């Protein structure tokens, strides 16, 4: 009876201890220890003192067996069981859980000691200028100092250029125009200069396009880049491109008159000019364009534009008063008519006095549009009359098929034919016109 009471009491104590610590597994452990102790005591004749001693020893062993329910009790428990992480340390937090925390800023984080921790858990090149030899620490990266008296970092010369430091003075080394205070990095020498380079095939200095614009170089042609009208030959810069000034309705740019002359088309008779080139007719007298037989206008005593009267005779289709106004010497109903002997390629002629529907076919090497324009019966791919051959890979001349039939050798079975003589065997099917 005494042993039963002792058992019940011990079980109650064990249950209470388990509930207060939240570790139900201890109940099973204590039960197991008690059972083993009881078994030992029973074997010894029921010595209660020995049983009590065994239970005390088991309980003590359990309490000293490590971290209890958590994974750690001190930081060392984590450091010994977790992998090392650069710039972070393992710590044992409340509740017995391991967690990472950043290590102190400036602590070396690589074997060579060239990298340091930033205090936020990352390994960086620097946290302050003291870690950069003669340089500065910017966003945890060592950069060249622009005042250390040496060329380093991205600098193109000592303490200048490279985008980070001030632009360089003349004669300093450079890689691009932006490296130079004068805005020009000479293409061949890679030295800064303030002299305009208008023949280096580069856009540099104040140039707005390659070797033009900017004031120091010649003005730019149409469609070249510009910033102002002064950059352009036309005097007009639209949407940063040199534009034509020939349709603005005002006299601008280098025009000699409104929308004509200069870099625009020649001016009509009576318009202002500065040189013959400013005029359609090529004649500027007294700063006024004069009528000529090549001004693209019907003026003076001309019968049609630039012909008739005191100018040359008119071509077929142009106006005439008499036959003498026409190259063909044939004026019908006020229009010059084409003839096959007027020494001109007019009417529907494909070449001078030949081809077309009215004149004779043209000789070899004359212009043509279709084979009927040629005396050879063959107008080649370049619109030139050419001699017929039976080996040119074409169906031409009087051939009935490619390089056969007609005046060439007879065609093989399956080739086109018109008569039996076009076939090699010779039989030409009268229905299908195919050799068989």
Confidence of residue 404 (pLDDT cuts 50, 70, 90): very high
Find the mean pLDDT for residues 80-96.
Answer: 88
Q: Return phi, psi of residue 57, to 5°.
A: -65, -40
In whole angstroms, give the CA distance from residue 150 to residue 158: 5
Is residue 160 classed as helix, strand or coil in its secondary structure?
strand
Whether residue 314 is predicted with pLDDT greater than 90 in this model: the reply is yes
Q: Which residue did the predictor score with more confidence, 375 or 32?
A: 375
Token pair 């004069």 is found at: 290
In tens, the pLDDT along 174-206 reads 999 899 988 888 877 888 887 667 888 888 778
Q: Which residue did the predictor score with more confidence, 32 or 426?
A: 426
Taking phi over 0 as left and psi of -120 to 50 as alpha, with beta for the rest, 106 belongs to left
Q: How many residues does the chain have?
A: 436
pLDDT at res. 4? 42
Q: Return phi, psi of residue 9, to 5°.
A: -65, -45
Residue 385 near residue 374 (C-beta atoms within 8 A):
yes
In tens, the pLDDT along 276-307 reads 999 999 999 999 999 999 888 898 899 999 99
Q: Is 50 exposed, middle or buried (0-12, 13-18, 19+ CB in 10 A)?
A: middle
Whether residue 135 is predicted with pLDDT greater than 80 in this model: the reply is no
In whole angstroms, give the CA distance from residue 412 to residue 392: 17
Question: How many beta carbons lie within 10 A of that of residue 247, not counting itself?
Answer: 9
Residue 378 near residue 368 (C-beta atoms within 8 A):
no
Encoded tokens for 80: 């010994």
Q: Which residue did the predictor score with more confidence, 52 or 102?
A: 102
Token pair 């324009």 is found at: 373
In tens, the pLDDT along 348-365 reads 999 999 999 989 999 999
pTM of the model as a whole: 0.30
Whether residue 62 is predicted with pLDDT greater than 70 in this model: the reply is no
Percent of the chain with pLDDT over 90: 40
In tens, the pLDDT along 3-30 reads 444 444 444 444 444 434 443 333 334 3
pLDDT at res. 263? 83
- Helix residue ranges, H only, 265-416: none
Q: pLDDT averaged over the chain?
A: 81
Most confident of 167-171, 204-208, 344-348, 385-389: 167-171
Closest to 413 measured CA to CA, from 425, 398, 399: 425
Instruction: Taking each helix axis as running N to C, give the angle between helix 25-43 and helix 48-63, from 0 to 180 degrees, rounded to the nearest 10.
Output: 150
Q: In sequence order, which residues have a C-beta less than 8 Å from that of residue 70 and are 6 or more positions away?
A: 92, 95, 96, 97
* C-alpha Rg value of the chain to the nearest Å: 53
Domain residue ranges in the chain:
2-63, 397-436
Question: How many beta carbons lie within 10 A of that of residue 69, not counting itself?
Answer: 11
């Amino acid at each position: 009876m005494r042993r039963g009471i002792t058992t019940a009491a011990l079980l109650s104590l064990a249950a209470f201890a388990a509930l207060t610590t939240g570790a139900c597994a201890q109940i099973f452990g204590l039960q197991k220890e008690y059972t083993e102790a009881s078994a030992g005591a029973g074997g010894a004749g029921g010595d209660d003192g020995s049983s009590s001693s065994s239970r005390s020893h088991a309980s003590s062993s359990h309490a000293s067996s490590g971290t209890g329910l958590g994974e750690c009790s001190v930081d060392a428990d984590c450091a010994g069981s977790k992998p090392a992480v650069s710039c972070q340390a393992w710590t044992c937090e409340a509740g017995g859980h391991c967690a990472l925390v950043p290590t102190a800023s400036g602590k070396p984080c690589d074997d060579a000691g060239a990298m340091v921790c930033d205090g936020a858990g990352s390994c960086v090149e620097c946290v302050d200028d003291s870690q950069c030899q003669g340089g500065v620490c910017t966003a945890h990266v060592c950069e060249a100092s622009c005042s250390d008296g040496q060329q380093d970092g991205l600098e193109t010369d000592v303490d200048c250029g490279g985008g980070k430091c001030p632009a360089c003075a003349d004669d300093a080394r450079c890689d691009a125009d932006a490296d130079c205070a004068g805005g020009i990095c000479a293409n061949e020498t890679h030295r800064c200069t303030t002299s305009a380079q208008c023949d280096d095939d580069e856009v540099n200095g104040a140039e707005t396009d390659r070797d033009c614009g900017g004031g120091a170089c010649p003005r730019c042609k149409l469609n070249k880049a510009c910033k102002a009208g002064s950059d352009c030959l036309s005097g007009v810069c639209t949407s940063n491109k040199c534009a034509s000034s020939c349709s603005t309705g005002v006299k601008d740019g280098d025009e000699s008159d409104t929308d004509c002359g200069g870099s625009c088309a020649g001016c009509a008779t009576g318009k202002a000019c500065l040189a013959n080139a400013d005029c359609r007719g090529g004649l500027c007298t007294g700063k006024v364009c004069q009528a000529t037989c090549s001004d693209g206008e019907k003026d003076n005593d001309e019968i049609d534009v630039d012909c008739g009267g005191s100018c040359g005779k008119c071509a077929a289709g142009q106006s005439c008063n008499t036959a003498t106004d026409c190259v063909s010497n044939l004026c019908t109903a006020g229009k010059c008519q084409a003839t096959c002997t007027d020494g001109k390629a007019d009417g529907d002629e494909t070449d001078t006095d030949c081809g077309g529907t009215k004149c004779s076919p043209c000789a070899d090497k004359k212009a043509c549009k279709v084979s009927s324009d040629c005396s050879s019966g063959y107008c080649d791919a370049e619109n030139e009359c050419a001699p017929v051959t039976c080996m040119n890979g074409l169906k031409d001349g009087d051939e009935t098929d490619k390089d056969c039939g007609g005046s060439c050798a007879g065609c093989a079975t399956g080739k086109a034919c018109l008569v039996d003589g076009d076939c090699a065997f010779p039989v030409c099917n009268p229905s299908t016109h195919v050799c068989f």
